C-alpha cells in the first residue's frame, strides 16, 4: 500500500506517508521496539501488525462513544489511514495504578492503586528526553493554549473512563497509558496509537504484564503479550 508514496517521517515505531489527499496520511506500524528514549533497541515479531489492529479497535470503539480521533480506516495488516493532525507536542499520561516512572519518582510500590486518575504531561522532544512539564510550561512555550489544554484534559479523563469500563470485562487492568492529541480543521482530536507500546495492561487475576514492559524489563514472552491483548479485544478464547 505504501509503494510509491512519499515518506514524510520515520519515528521509532511508525512510518508516516503522504497520500494524494493532503488531509489524510498513511501510518505504517513497524516491528522495531525501543525503550528508555531509544537507548534500548530491538524488534518484536509482528508488533506492527498487533499494534495496528489493536489501535484500530480502540479508535473505532472510542469514536462510537463520542471521542473524536484521527482513525479513518485500516488499509492493510500493518497500515491505517488517518486524518492529518497538527500534533500538539505534549504526551499526556493517565495513571490509575502506580507503576513505571511514577512508582520510581514518588517511592510508591508498583501496583498501589491511586485514589483518582493522575494526569501528567511530557514535552515531546527526544533530544531533551521528553521531560515532564506542567500547564505553566505548556503555556509559556506556547505548545497549546489553555483552552486547548482544558479540552485535552477533559478528553484524556473521558478516554480513561471508557477504556477502564471496556477492558474490565476482558480481564484487563489499565494501569496507565500515554495519549497524543492534535488539531484538525480547528478541532482537537486524539491521534497517535493506543497499544501495548503506549499502555500498561495487567491481567486482572494474575497481574501478569501484557505490554511493552516485557520488552523494557526483559521478561520474555513479549510477542505473546501483544497477541493476547489483540485476542481479548477480538473476544477470542485466551491462553492466559
Question: Which residues form the interface with ligand TMP (CB under 6 A)?
Answer: 93, 99-102, 130, 176-178, 198-200
202 strand-pairing partners: 173, 209
Query: What residue is closest to ligand TMP based on CB?
Result: 100
Question: Could you give the angle at which helices 47-64 and 146-167 cross, rounded to 10 degrees?
Answer: 100
Task: Closer to ligand TMP by CB, 53 or 198: give it.
Answer: 198
Task: Closer to ligand TMP by CB, 134 or 145: give it.
Answer: 134
26: which 3 cell numbers?
Answer: 498513511
Q: How far is the CB of 211 from ligand TMP (least distance, A)?
A: 7
Q: How far is the CB of 90 from ligand TMP (least distance, A)?
A: 13
Q: How far is the CB of 97 from ligand TMP (least distance, A)?
A: 10
Q: How far is the CB of 137 from ligand TMP (least distance, A)?
A: 17
Task: Closer to ligand TMP by CB, 80 or 93: give it.
Answer: 93
30: which 3 cell numbers?
Answer: 513497524
161: which 3 cell numbers?
Answer: 473512563
Identify the sign of the CA torsion 135, 149, 66, 194: negative
Task: Closer to ligand TMP by CB, 76 or 100: give it.
Answer: 100
Task: Closer to ligand TMP by CB, 184 or 200: give it.
Answer: 200
The 8-class DSSP code of residue 3 comes to T
Q: How far is the CB of 198 from ligand TMP (least distance, A)?
A: 4
User: Is 240 within 8 Å of 228 (Cβ atoms)?
Assistant: yes
Neighbours of 132 (CB within 10 A): 13
Q: How far is the CB of 178 from ligand TMP (least distance, A)?
A: 3
61: which 3 cell numbers?
Answer: 470503539
**Strand ordering across the sheet containing 181-184:** 86-87, 181-184, 187-190
Task: Closer to ligand TMP by CB, 51 or 84: give it.
Answer: 51
137: which 3 cell numbers?
Answer: 510550561
Dihedral through CA 27, CA 33, CA 204, CA 106, nearest 10?
-110
Amino acid at each position: 500500500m505504501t509503494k510509491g508514496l512519499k515518506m514524510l517521517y520515520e519515528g521509532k515505531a511508525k512510518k508516516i506517508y503522504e497520500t494524494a489527499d493532503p488531509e489524510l496520511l498513511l501510518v505504517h506500524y513497524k516491528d522495531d521496539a525501543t525503550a528508555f528514549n531509544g537507548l534500548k533497541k530491538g524488534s518484536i515479531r509482528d508488533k506492527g501488525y498487533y499494534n495496528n489492529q489493536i489501535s484500530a479497535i480502540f479508535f473505532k470503539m472510542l469514536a462510537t462513544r463520542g471521542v473524536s480521533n484521527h482513525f479513518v480506516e485500516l488499509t492493510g495488516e500493518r497500515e491505517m489511514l488517518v486524518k492529518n493532525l497538527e500534533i500538539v507536542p505534549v504526551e499526556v499520561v493517565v495513571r490509575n495504578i502506580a507503576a513505571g516512572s511514577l512508582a520510581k519518582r514518588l517511592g510508591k510500590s508498583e501496583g498501589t492503586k491511586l485514589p483518582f486518575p493522575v494526569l501528567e504531561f511530557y514535552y515531546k522532544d527526544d533530544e531533551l528526553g521528553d521531560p515532564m512539564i506542567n500547564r505553566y510550561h505548556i503555556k509559556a512555550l506556547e505548545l497549546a493554549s489553555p483552552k486547548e489544554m482544558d479540552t485535552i484534559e477533559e478528553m484524556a479523563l473521558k478516554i480513561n473512563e471508557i477504556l477502564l469500563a471496556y477492558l474490565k470485562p476482558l480481564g484487563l487492568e489499565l494501569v496507565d497509558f500515554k495519549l497524543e492529541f492534535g488539531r484538525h480543521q480547528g478541532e482537537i482530536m486524539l491521534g497517535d496509537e493506543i497499544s501495548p507500546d503506549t499502555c500498561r495492561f495487567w491481567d486482572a487475576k494474575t497481574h501478569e504484564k501484557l505490554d511493552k514492559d516485557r520488552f523494557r524489563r526483559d521478561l520474555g514472552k513479549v510477542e505473546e503479550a501483544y497477541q493476547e491483548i489483540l485476542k481479548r479485544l477480538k473476544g477470542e478464547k485466551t491462553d492466559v
